[in-house]
Amino acid sequence: MTCQKTFPNRGDQMYKRFRGLYLQLFVLLALGLGACQTPQPATSTTAAKEDPIEFIILQLNDVYEIAPLEGGKFGGLARVATLKKQLLRENPNTIAVLSGDFLSPSFIGTLRMDDGDRIAGLQMVETLNAMGMDYVTFGNHEFDLSNVEVLKKRIDQSDFRFVCANAKLVENGMTKSFSQKGAAVPDYVIHEIRNAGGDLMKLAITGLVLPFAKQDYVEYLPVEETFRKVSAEMEEVADVSVALTHLAARDDIALAKAVPGFPLFMGGHEHVNMSFYIENTVITKADANAKTAYVHRGTYYPSTGQVSLRSSLITIDDKLAEDPATKVVVDKWLGAVDDIAQNMGFNPARELMVAEQTLICTEALIRSQPTNYGGLTTRAFEAVWPDADVYLLNSGSMRLDDNLEGTVTEYDVLRTYPFGGPIVKMELHGEEMGKLLKTGLFLNKGEGGYFQTLYVQPAGQTFTVKGETIDPGKTYSVVLPQFVAEGKEANLEFLADHKFETQKTFNTADGKTVNNDMRNIVIYFMDKIGRF
């Protein structure tokens, strides 16, 4: 698959940054998904004789795990460190960037260190420092950290630079930039790159994040308006400008159309690799948890301003060796987590089952529609507490924000349900059951209070339970997380007025004793079924 684009030659302000320039963009998808390229522009005699400036950008996005996943086959930041070192040997003008979402969520982040403080992303900061990350922007999950002082501390502990134009700190009633080691987190940075002859290229990098996580300490400036303003500032001082965009794909596309001229958006938020060619902008997103990475190789001709980019999607798997220095940091944290998890009664490395179908748990899907991983979980509830009419799970309990394939371990379950918690049984009249289901399946759609269910189906304005329409005069039994039963989930506060039944352990039909924590329950069930 090929497509051709001609870069516009306009004199208006929108294209001022690129007047007299040509742009060549190659997007090569290394997994065989296709390619999009523009034809080679004619090269001037001066450009042909001069020494161009070559540079490489290594792009990651949405990384929550420091170690390899899927039984050690894919991902791992020590492998990314090896890739960066390979690229540095190819070209010293290599930088690594991360387009948001890395401090949260993760099972490791929920644990507490010896001093009692939550780890809260420190494992990511130390590992990214070791692997040589250069620039990051905020993702929405960075603002999962409810304590702003913890977020400030993690920013200051980072050797890599934060950059973001539209997320600002609210403090003492005033809005200002976040700070890093005493300096304001900038709207954009200028990274200077030189060739052997000393010619200089100024690469501007900005960052944007979608207004998703609502914390009192953060204010989101309008994305498009802010980007226009920063774009105009960048074009006055930079030779080439790129953006780290932690936005939904549809918003990336809309922004590229609204503010054309940027050659490259290195995006995040979605967790599967994708690329788009919009006007004169290529938008790239790698797979979450460093299962893949984008490598952008650029060539810039100082005399003409001509720039070309060739972008390749690289699989991060066990064919890449682990960088020893980075692996030391990873192993330190994994050892600490293993000790903590084992003290909690878990064996993180134990293999439970083989997922023959991908277990879907990305936040966008798990909070808006039934998924097989949600269904597996409600079936696990039934396996330990049978004979209820309905089984419910609030999707916000599932914090993996990723999918599972192949071998599934206890650690995979722990990172899916980092907060755990018991399940309980309630009795509700039919009218209340209808209210519960309408709230969880309709009103809370898109939020953490959206339900994954077993034995429930919509039926017009009501629902069926085990194939029969809800009877307002009938009493129904429902098994659900205690967190929800206590009325702590959004729009479900009315449940706090109802009593529930609980128990510390379950004695299963096959003779097992299972602790009443959803992590233990899912681990038991996966081990029981072996394949899914």
Residues 329-343: what's their mean pLDDT? Answer: 91
pLDDT at 188: 98
Read off φ and ψ for residue 337, nearest 5 degrees: -65, -40
Residues 56-78: what's their mean pLDDT? Answer: 92
Residues 39-63: what's their mean pLDDT? Answer: 71
The yes-or-no verdict on residue 48 having pLDDT over 70 is no
- Banded pLDDT at 7 (limits 50, 70, 90): very low
Residues 22-48: what's their mean pLDDT? Answer: 38
pLDDT at 49: 59
pLDDT digits 0-9 by tens, 208-243: 999 987 899 999 999 999 999 999 999 999 999 999
Lowest mean pLDDT among 111-120, 181-190, 486-495: 111-120
pLDDT at 522: 98
pLDDT at 487: 95
Check: CB of residue 79 under 8 Å from CB of residue 330: no
- Give the side-chain half-sphere CA count within 13 A for 187: 15
pLDDT at 528: 96
Residues 416-429: what's their mean pLDDT? Answer: 95
Residues 162-173: what's their mean pLDDT? Answer: 96
The yes-or-no verdict on residue 74 having pLDDT over 70 is yes
Domains within the chain, CATH numbers bracketed = 17-31+53-241+285-326 (3.60.21.10), 344-529 (3.90.780.10)
Q: What is the dihedral of CA 150, 266, 227, 278, to 10 degrees?
A: -150
Give me the percent of the chain exceeding a pLDDT of 90: 75
Residues 328-350: what's their mean pLDDT? Answer: 91
Nearest to 93 by CA among 185, 235, 187, 203: 203
pLDDT at 42: 35
Residues 300-314: what's their mean pLDDT? Answer: 91
Residues 157-173: what's their mean pLDDT? Answer: 97
Q: How far apart are the first and last CA of the chain?
A: 36
The yes-or-no verdict on residue 9 having pLDDT over 60 is no
- Banded pLDDT at 12 (limits 50, 70, 90): very low
pLDDT at 22: 35
Residue 427 amino acid letter: E
The yes-or-no verdict on residue 201 having pLDDT over 90 is yes
The yes-or-no verdict on residue 252 having pLDDT over 80 is yes
Nearest to 519 by CA among 415, 448, 447, 425: 415
State the DSSP string of 139-204.
-GGGGG-S-HHHHHHHHHT-SSEE--SSEEEEETTEEE--EETTEEPPSEEEEEEE-TT--EEEEE
Give me the percent of the chain exceeding a pLDDT of 70: 91
- Degrees, nearest 5: CA angle 362-368-372: 60
Pairing mode, if any, of strands 264-267 and 281-285?
Answer: parallel
| Mean pLDDT, the chain, whole residue set | 89
pLDDT at 32: 35
pLDDT digits 0-9 by tens, 364-388: 799 999 999 999 999 999 999 999 9
Nearest to 356 by CA among 291, 303, 423, 405: 405
- Banded pLDDT at 306 (limits 50, 70, 90): confident
The yes-or-no verdict on residue 151 having pLDDT over 50 is yes
The yes-or-no verdict on residue 41 having pLDDT over 60 is no
Residues 179-184: what's their mean pLDDT? Answer: 97
Alpha-carbon distance values, 225 to 165, 184, 189 (Å): 11, 21, 19
Give the global pTM.
Answer: 0.81
Beta sheet of 292-301, edge-to-edge order: 34-37, 23-29, 306-315, 292-301, 53-60, 94-98, 135-136, 161-162
Pairing mode, if any, of strands 505-507 and 500-501?
Answer: unpaired
